[in-house]
Structure 1
Amino acid sequence: MTDKSARSVPAHRLSRLAHLGGLATRVAGGVVAEGVRQLAKGQRPEAKDLLLTPANLRRVADKLAHLRGAAMKLGQLLSMDAGDLMPVELAELLAGLRSGATPMPMLQLAAVMEQNLGSDWQTHFQQFSFSPLAAASIGQVHQAIDRQGNQLALKIQYPGVRQSIDSDVDNVVSLLKLSRLLPPELPLQELIEEAKRQLHAEADYRLEAEHLQAYHQHLNHREEIRVPQFYPALSGETLLCMSYESGAALDQLIYQARPERQRIAALLLELLMQELFVFGRVQTDPNFANFLYDPASRDLVLLDFGATRLYSPHWTQAYRAIFRAGIAQDRDALLEAATQIGYFKREITSAQQTQVLSLFELAMEPLRAETYDFAATDLARRLRDQGMELSLRQGYWHSPPIDALFLHRKLAGLYLLFARLGVSLPCRALVEPWLAD
């Protein structure tokens, strides 16, 4: 990679605001141009149609990806909460944002390394690759070899991301409101505040280092699962150094034999149970890029811990009760446990309550099965249809508690991965041992 493919990240609030201001001007110009074109054809255009032209959507997506963190995180939360109820245009735009970001140029990268390790930072390494292995919402990852010959992966944060989180999120929301892409029923304020909290947590590399070390301690003696080693002497406020772990992207498992795919899928489901009921912390981002499969050792490799959330004993006990009730299809116990974690805080009709509990039971359909064939199921469609029935026909749009939202996201992400891998799992036998008091 050369610096031609990199783009400097605007590091200050005013420069980041100016980027969005310039975008608004270009979008407005696109609206005018499209309006003139449609009028010339004798058509009477609507405002939303003028805003949602392919050119304008490209402008918005490009700018939000350039600003990185806030837009991507808000997009994740919106897609988690609104799902298929979002306009197609917004869903596609957010999907594009989640696919990655352009890397920062070499000079900006060197400045971040100097801030963390000093002006002589390069003396810490025998080799340092300026071409990133990956570029995402908060930072990018580079490979290096230290003086002792250890293979390293360095997570390097984009400059200005932490300082601009709150203003970036507010600016992104303003832009999405202007585009009229957001469902009017969406409880946006809660998602905005959570996007800010989550971004601040993910930008705290010292906090992520704590999570990394906790997982390493919990899983260090566990066969088949590997966690990178943390290197504190080569880490800093915006630099996280860990051992480089080899492997292939998790979706490459589709080329492995079915028994091997099923073994890794079972590991992932058991790991979620262990995270929730033993560790009290869950890595809640099911993005395939957060895991690797090492075909040489046949290990599952855990990579990213920025989206890890802590769950209190109260929460874990309530979710243990929810899983048990969902598997047993005990509506009374399910209602009691769901109420404990914050569902049904507002007045709802009995029909709405029944629909919410039905969604819980449907989401746990795989966990009730002796063997569940994820390749043959239409579970995702049925969940979508019931969710739309609840939101649109029953008139009930209620975000679950944020901690629940992230946990649901992780479970749904695993279901999606299992479907992609075409596996059948003895889900009930895998889950039930973790549900005993």
Structure 2
Amino acid sequence: MSDLPRKAVTRTAKLAALPLGFAGRATWGLGKRIGGKSAELVGRELQQRTAEQLFKVLGELKGGAMKFGQAMSVFESALPEEVAGPYRAALTKLQEAAPPMPTRTVHSVLAERLGEDWHDLFLEFEDKPAAAASIGQVHRAVWHDGREVAVKVQYPGAGEALLSDLNQLSRFARLLGPLIPGMDIKPLIAELRDRVSEELDYALEAQAQRAHAEEFADDPDVLVPAVVHQCEQVLVTEWIDGIPLSEVITDGTQEQRDRAGQLLARFLFSGPSRTGLLHADPHPGNFRLLPDDAEDAQDPEDPEGSGGKGGWRLGVLDFGTVDRLPGGLPPTIGDSLRMTLDGDAEAVYDLLREEGFVKESIELDPDAVLDYLLPIIEPAQADEFTFTRGWMRSQAARIADPRSPAHQLGKQLNLPPAYLLIHRVTLSTIGVLCQLGATVRLRDELEEWLPGFVLEDDETLTEGDSVAEA
């Protein structure tokens, strides 16, 4: 690829061809069946060809198209196994790689933003990118003070490309819906579009990364690389090695999977409490598993850390998309979870109505709402829970089946705007945990970090006094 395709007409043509391609393959599949091939075999070939075209186009276009592909990739666990296979390899490609920007373009951006003598800032600079993402690519280098660094360079025209792609994708969101059963694609695309300006602003990203790096500086479980330098279209941070989470998913040991899953859950729930920010892009390409012999590994005096399974830390990258939660996660989430686990249907229903999850114009049966929620929060009930693709598929099927009571009830619930990003991040994280097949002590993390999940002593006392007075 010679350059990032920026012209709206070029990008629109590529994206608009996708639904036509899907239709053409359906006709091809019909012909194959008439020719004597089994429906199952043809179905598999059809899925594979569809996946290859979809993710080839998304990866080449980068921008909003690739951003959408990455957001979708974490929901792969929800697909039926006979469908998921052909998609899995194509989805994984989006998490770690994409066609690179030409070297001349990279040098041009660096010269424009860092100055014509930008080479003097580095002892070494690798022209071949180490990773590529939706709006920029990363180069490995050595800063002038000897530190190994990651240099993120934004694609020229990335903002225009993002908006163009997401506007076009929203026009045929209905055709993409069957990729992930039970998921409404249109709100996902709308929310990604709303975040475009923030993600393009490397100053905001640097600010969010600094806040995390400072807070987690001495953490035995999580490592966030420090920001070294930032200017428009260029972000320089400390380099961290480690195993990409996508590789742990495909080739990791069970110990690695469990440890990665535990630390991912810990980071998700502890981050907002500790920094007032929620890392809102939890696809596997943004995480590394760091072995204990790494330079920045956990304290040798405490090889197990606070997680009980030693030897690994979680490296966290890319803070371009965050949700600002100054008070941490809303206590409503912890309160509703606790009351649901307690089986208090009326209290849960009243709280959901108060927060706008149930609109005033709608009346629902509180017990039916409880029955809808309990399977979803099953991981919070047990001391430890094994996340599997099978469990994820069963939840997706239950909510997606138009004949099921869960589907009918789910259509009547509302998701308030303040919870949109929290909801997507939580679902995405659960998707990654299912891809890992990790056994996680989720309840431990909820008790430690989620406001409202555990009643404080004074709250318990107040309730007790109320009962006594009654």
> 1:101/1:335 Cα in 2 relative to 1: closer, same or farther (>3 Å)?
farther
Are 1:120 and 2:132 counterparts? Answer: no
Q: List alignment gaps of at least 5 residues for structure 1.
A: 1-5, 42-48
Per-residue CA shift, 1:250-306, capped at 9, x if unaligned? 353875573x76555433333322223343321133322211122112332111212
The residue identity in structure 1 corresponding to 2:56 is D
* TM-score normalised by length of structure 1: 0.78
What is the aligned-residue RMSD (CA, Å)?
Answer: 4.3
Asked if residue 282 in structure 1 is aligned to residue 297 in structure 2, the reply is no
Q: What is the CA distance between 1:343 and its match in structure 2?
A: 1.2
Q: Which amino acid aligns with 1:144?
A: A
Query: C-alpha distance in 2, partners of 1:223/1:212?
Result: 18
Q: 1:113 to 1:34 in 2, by over 3 A?
A: same
CA contact (8 A) 1:229 1:242 kept: yes
Q: Could you tell me how far 1:166 is from its partner in structure 2?
A: 2.4
Residues 10-62 of structure 1, C-alpha deviations (whole Å, 9 max, x = no match):
134344345557x4798599589959979x98xxxxxxx9xx79767655543
| Unmatched segments (≥5 aa) in structure 2 | 36-42, 298-311, 457-470
Q: How does 1:7-406 map to 2 (within 5 A)?
A: 7-17=2-12, 19-20=14-15, 23=17, 27=21, 58-75=52-69, 92=87, 95=91, 98-99=94-95, 100-174=97-171, 190-232=187-229, 235-250=230-245, 251-252=247-248, 255=252, 258=255, 262-295=258-291, 296=293, 297=297, 298-311=312-325, 313=327, 316-345=330-359, 347-348=361-362, 350=364, 354-369=367-382, 371-374=383-386, 378-389=390-401, 394-395=407-408, 396-397=410-411, 400-401=415-416, 403-406=418-421
Which structure has the higher relative contact order (CA within 8 Å, separation 6+)?
A: 2
Distance 1:160 1:227, change over 3 A: same
Q: Which residue of 2 aligns with 1:45?
A: none
Q: Output one character per residue of 1:169-209: Cα deviation in whole Å (capped at 9) or x when no partner.
A: 12223355678968999866544431211233222221111
Shift in Å, 1:381: 3.5
* Code of the aligned partner of 1:73: K
Partner SS state of residue 428, structure 1: helix
The secondary structure found in structure 2 opposite 1:231 is strand
Counterparts of 1:412 and 1:207 in 2: how far apart (Å)? 25
Does structure 2 retain, via aligned residues, the 8 Å contact 1:321–1:333? no
Distance change in 2, residues 1:66/1:346 (3 Å):
farther
Query: Given the superposition, is the C-alpha separation of residues 150 and 179 from structure 1 closer, same or farther in structure 2, using an over 3 Å criterion?
Result: closer
State the number of aligned residues: 419
Length-normalised TM-score, structure 2: 0.73
Contact 1:201 1:207 in 2 (8 A): yes
Tell me if structure 2 keeps the 8 A contact 1:249–1:291: yes
Query: Identity across aligned pairs (percent)?
Result: 25
Q: 1:68, 1:101 within 8 Å by CA — same for their partners in 2?
A: yes
